């Protein structure tokens, strides 16, 4: 053992100290300077900001002082003119100069207010205070009932049998007058007999040509009345040649704008607190639920915005049915609606002169719902549409919901139900901030192929939509005196063409991709349709025949062993969007399968669950679909048994199935051809079963 001398130890310690101490000293200096610079930088920013504020203050005060002086001088000139005209009896001219005088005085008073309060308040960061005075009061004044401009509207309130008018409410822009009224005892009894809940007060919206309402306004308002009555939004209505009114339940409450401002004022500048956020989620859920009911009745609200949403208690209610339109209406689409809460796409389509039934009104209501949610989160409006930035801290999953609702029409939520489910997921979460977009119910569809979700999502409401359009058609026929044409594909034929092109591309891509997998999968074997054994398909055909379906072309043969593993099913969007397939998405989900695009009837799903083979569908032909399938294959290549395509047959209404690829562990030859089977419409999984149930098919190479 070598003794360690004290000198050596001292040397080592000394060296270590010599090396470490400078490093520590540098680090310390670095930190000190970092803090110093941060403090100096902060100070400089503070000084800069203060200087800018003072500059703006001085500039504002100077400008307004000049305005004030100019206004007073002008008023001084106008006043004698006004008086002189009164004296010489020119009353019209006197009124003219009187109004000019009023304008000048108002302008001067405004300048005075800004000099005395507005600018100083802004200088000291109290702009919220001035915001209230400068914006809300003028807004309030602007929304007050008009006086003088339309003298006819000053006419006495009309009488409505069974209702006692309490007061007139501020009117909107629909050309109607609104009255708050008490329900008489007899009328209350009458309404109760018709199944309405007891009502103390009602709102009566009244159009009358004698006070300026026009026929188009009356027609527009009366368009969706029957459906609105079914929804409980309208109690009763009356229409004659010159007069039209309808009675709605009175909803005491404040509009969503007011509530939003209050929530933000209570939460502070850092965005909504947890309590406020929960309220916003609740309101959004209520809004989606209401829209679901509208859409199920075949109605498009068309004017969803904060001012048309009232919060009563803790519930959100939709009011103002002024623009409600039957979804299946044969009328030409108009641009009515409110900027920033109306999808610009609607304007674009309206300018093209399309009919209402040619667009998907549901999607436009959902855009508005997204814009309303944005406005609640930001206490502002989405000035840049879908590109608007959320500046306040919000859960990212909630931001995702806003984006999805306001995205391009082809990528938007397909129904209010889908949107409500996403909101419900956040409502159910203990901490909404911990929820990722990937965890939202709608995301699995959107994750890999957003358009797949959209192709499937119409199916989300397909059954109810079918009923919706039927009802809407009835409603429209009643109110418009015409039978609306059947609902066409939403938005445009161009998008349908794009979709079809993508389907073809993806089908080709899938085939190519499956063939390329030959090296990776144990083996992908060739089979030839001429070598197929017909017997199993005869069996399948018999099965189909019992359901009035038949297999018209024999599919390829394969060995049962080849089908032991999983089967990847590519479900064509044309089939996936068939409303008949829709109801089983839920069952697929419950069965533990991937719900995306895998749809079929109950027996098919049960059967699939039993054999455990079909595990995934990819209903949309997009490059992402191919990527998705590729990924799925890479994960399941050892289990993969076959790749199956189900889609539109060559005959109208027929469904075709193509076995794209099949694997066999014993051989290594690639596939060289495809087989196909056609069944009659609506049962592509039946065709799939024809492939998969075969038990003695030979595989030819």
Q: What SS3 class is residue 31? A: helix
- Of 446 and 567, nearer to another protein (C-beta) is 446
Helix/strand/coil (H, E, C) string of 64-100?
Answer: HHHHHHHHHHHHHHHHHHHHHHHHCCCHHHHHHHHHH
CA neighbours within 13 Å on the CB side: how many for 658? 17
**Measured CA distances, 557 to 513, 576, 613, 672 (Å):** 22, 26, 18, 13
Q: How far is the CB of 287 from another protein (least distance, A)?
A: 17
- Of 403 and 582, nearer to another protein (C-beta) is 403
Give the torsion through C-alpha atoms of 394, 395, 399, 405, to 10 deg: -120
Residue 262 near residue 255 (C-beta atoms within 8 A): no
- Of 470 and 498, nearer to another protein (C-beta) is 498
Q: How far is the CB of 338 from another protein (least distance, A)?
A: 7
- Of 32 and 133, nearer to another protein (C-beta) is 133
Q: How far is the CB of 446 from another protein (least distance, A)?
A: 6
The residues, any chain, with a CB within 8 Å of residue 350's CB and separated by 6 or more, are: 332, 333, 334, 335
User: What's the rounded Cα separation, in Å, for the pair 346 and 354?
Assistant: 10
Q: How far is the CB of 351 from another protein (least distance, A)?
A: 4
Q: Residue 243 pairs with which residues in a beta bridge? A: 208
User: What's the rounded Cα separation, in Å, for the pair 23 and 642?
Assistant: 65
Burial class (CB in 10 A: 0-12, 13-18, 19+), 414: buried
- Of 183 and 304, nearer to another protein (C-beta) is 304
Q: How far is the CB of 429 from another protein (least distance, A)?
A: 15
- Of 223 and 412, nearer to another protein (C-beta) is 412
- Of 210 and 504, nearer to another protein (C-beta) is 504
544 token code pair: 């189909």
Q: How far is the CB of 308 from another protein (least distance, A)?
A: 9
- Of 169 and 681, nearer to another protein (C-beta) is 169
Residue 657 near residue 677 (C-beta atoms within 8 A): yes
> DSSP code of 671?
P
- Of 245 and 342, nearer to another protein (C-beta) is 342
- Of 386 and 417, nearer to another protein (C-beta) is 386
Residue 696 near residue 533 (C-beta atoms within 8 A): yes
Q: How far is the CB of 260 from another protein (least distance, A)?
A: 11
Q: How far is the CB of 268 from another protein (least distance, A)?
A: 18
User: Which DSSP string corresponds to 276-310?
Assistant: HHHHHHHHHHHHHHHHHHHHHTTEE-----GGGEE
The residues, any chain, with a CB within 8 Å of residue 134's CB and separated by 6 or more, are: 118
Diameter over CA atoms, the chain: 128
User: What's the rounded Cα separation, in Å, for the pair 247 and 202?
Assistant: 7
Q: How far is the CB of 622 from another protein (least distance, A)?
A: 7
Name the residues that contact another protein, by CB under 8 A: 63, 100, 135, 139, 143, 257, 305, 307, 338-341, 344, 347-348, 351-352, 380-381, 383-389, 391, 396, 400, 403-404, 407-408, 411, 436-439, 443, 446-451, 622, 624
User: Which DSSP string corresponds to 99-145?
Assistant: HHHHHHHHHHHHHHHIIIIIHHHHHTT-HHHHHIIIIIHHHHHHHSP
Q: How far is the CB of 517 from another protein (least distance, A)?
A: 20
Q: Return the closest-CA partner of residue 463 out of 574, 582, 576, 360.
A: 582
Q: How far is the CB of 102 from another protein (least distance, A)?
A: 13
- Of 135 and 651, nearer to another protein (C-beta) is 135
- Of 168 and 396, nearer to another protein (C-beta) is 396
Residue 357 near residue 328 (C-beta atoms within 8 A): yes
User: What's the rounded Cα separation, in Å, for the pair 100 and 98?
Assistant: 5
Q: How far is the CB of 347 from another protein (least distance, A)?
A: 6
- Of 550 and 589, nearer to another protein (C-beta) is 589
User: What's the rounded Cα separation, in Å, for the pair 406 and 382?
Assistant: 10
606 token code pair: 């049960």
- Of 51 and 140, nearer to another protein (C-beta) is 140
Q: How far is the CB of 259 from another protein (least distance, A)?
A: 14
Residue 279 near residue 450 (C-beta atoms within 8 A): no
Q: How far is the CB of 385 from another protein (least distance, A)?
A: 8
497 token code pair: 């063409």
């Amino acid at each position: 053992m070598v003794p360690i001398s004290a000198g050596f130890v001292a040397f080592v310690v000394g060296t270590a100290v010599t090396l470490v101490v400078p490093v520590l000293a540098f680090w310390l200096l670095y930190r000190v300077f970092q803090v110093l610079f941060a403090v100096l930088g902060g100070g400089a920013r503070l000084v800069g900001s203060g200087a800018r504020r003072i500059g703006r203050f001085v500039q504002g005060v100077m400008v307004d002082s000049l305005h004030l002086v100019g206004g007073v001088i002008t008023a001084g000139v106008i006043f004698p003119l006004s008086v002189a005209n009164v004296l010489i009896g020119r009353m019209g001219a006197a009124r003219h100069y009187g109004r000019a005088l009023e304008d000048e005085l108002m302008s001067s008073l405004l300048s005075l207010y800004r000099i005395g309060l507005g600018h100083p308040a802004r200088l000291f960061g109290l702009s919220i205070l001035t915001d209230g005075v400068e914006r809300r009061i003028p807004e309030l004044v602007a929304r007050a009932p008009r006086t003088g401009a339309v003298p006819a509207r000053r006419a006495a309130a009309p009488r409505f049998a069974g209702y006692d008018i309490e007061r007139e409410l501020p009117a909107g822009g629909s050309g109607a007058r609104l009255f708050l009224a008490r329900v008489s005892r007899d009328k209350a009894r009458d309404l109760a007999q018709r199944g309405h809940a007891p009502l103390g007060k009602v709102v009566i919206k009244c159009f009358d040509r004698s006070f300026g309402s026009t026929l188009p306004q009356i027609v527009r308002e009366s368009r969706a009345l029957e459906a609105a009555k079914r929804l409980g939004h309208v109690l009763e209505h009356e229409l004659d040649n010159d007069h039209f009114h309808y009675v709605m339940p009175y909803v005491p409450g404040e509009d969503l704008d007011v509530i939003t401002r209050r929530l933000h004022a209570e939460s502070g500048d850092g965005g909504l607190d947890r309590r406020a956020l929960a309220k916003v989620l609740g309101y959004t859920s209520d809004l989606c639920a209401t829209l679901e009911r509208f859409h199920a009745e075949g109605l498009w609200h068309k004017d969803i915005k904060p001012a048309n949403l009232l919060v009563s208690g803790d519930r959100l209610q939709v009011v103002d049915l002024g623009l409600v339109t039957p979804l299946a209406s044969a009328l030409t689409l108009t641009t009515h609606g409110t900027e920033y809460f109306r999808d610009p796409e609607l304007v674009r389509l309206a300018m093209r002169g399309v009919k209402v039934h040619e667009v998907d009104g549901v999607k436009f209501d959902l855009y508005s719902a997204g814009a309303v949610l944005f406005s609640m989160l930001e206490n502002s409006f989405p000035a840049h549409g879908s590109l608007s930035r959320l500046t306040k801290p919000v859960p990212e999953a909630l931001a995702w919901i806003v984006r999805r609702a306001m995205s391009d029409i082809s990528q938007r939520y397909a129904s209010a139900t889908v949107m409500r489910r996403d909101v419900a997921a956040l409502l159910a979460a203990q901490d909404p901030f911990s929820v990722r977009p990937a965890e939202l119910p709608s995301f699995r569809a959107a994750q890999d192929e957003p358009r797949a979700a959209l192709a499937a999502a119409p199916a989300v409401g397909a059954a109810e939509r079918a009923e919706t359009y039927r009802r809407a058609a009835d409603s429209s026929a009643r109110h418009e005196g015409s039978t609306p044409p059947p609902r066409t594909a939403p938005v445009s034929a161009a998008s349908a063409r794009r979709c079809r092109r993508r389907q073809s591309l993806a089908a080709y891509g899938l085939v190519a991709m499956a063939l390329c997998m030959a090296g990776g999968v144990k083996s992908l074997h060739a089979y030839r349709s001429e070598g197929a054994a017909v017997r199993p398909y005869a069996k399948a055909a018999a099965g189909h025949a019992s359901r009035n379906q038949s297999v018209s072309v024999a599919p390829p043969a394969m060995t049962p062993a080849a089908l032991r593993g999983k089967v990847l099913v590519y479900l064509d969007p044309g089939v996936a969007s068939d409303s008949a397939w829709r109801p089983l998405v839920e069952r697929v989900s419950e069965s533990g399968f991937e719900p995306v695009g895998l749809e079929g009837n109950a027996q098919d799903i049960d059967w699939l669950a039993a054999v455990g083979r079909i595990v995934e569908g990819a209903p949309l032909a997009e490059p992402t679909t191919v990527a998705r399938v590729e990924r799925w294959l890479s994960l399941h290549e050892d289990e993969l048994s076959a790749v199956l395509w189900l889609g539109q047959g060559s005959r109208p209404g027929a469904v075709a199935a193509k076995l794209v690829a099949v694997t066999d562990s014993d051989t290594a030859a690639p596939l060289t051809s495809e087989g196909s089977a056609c069944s009659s419409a609506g049962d592509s999984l039946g065709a799939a079963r024809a492939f998969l149930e075969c038990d003695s098919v030979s595989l030819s190479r």
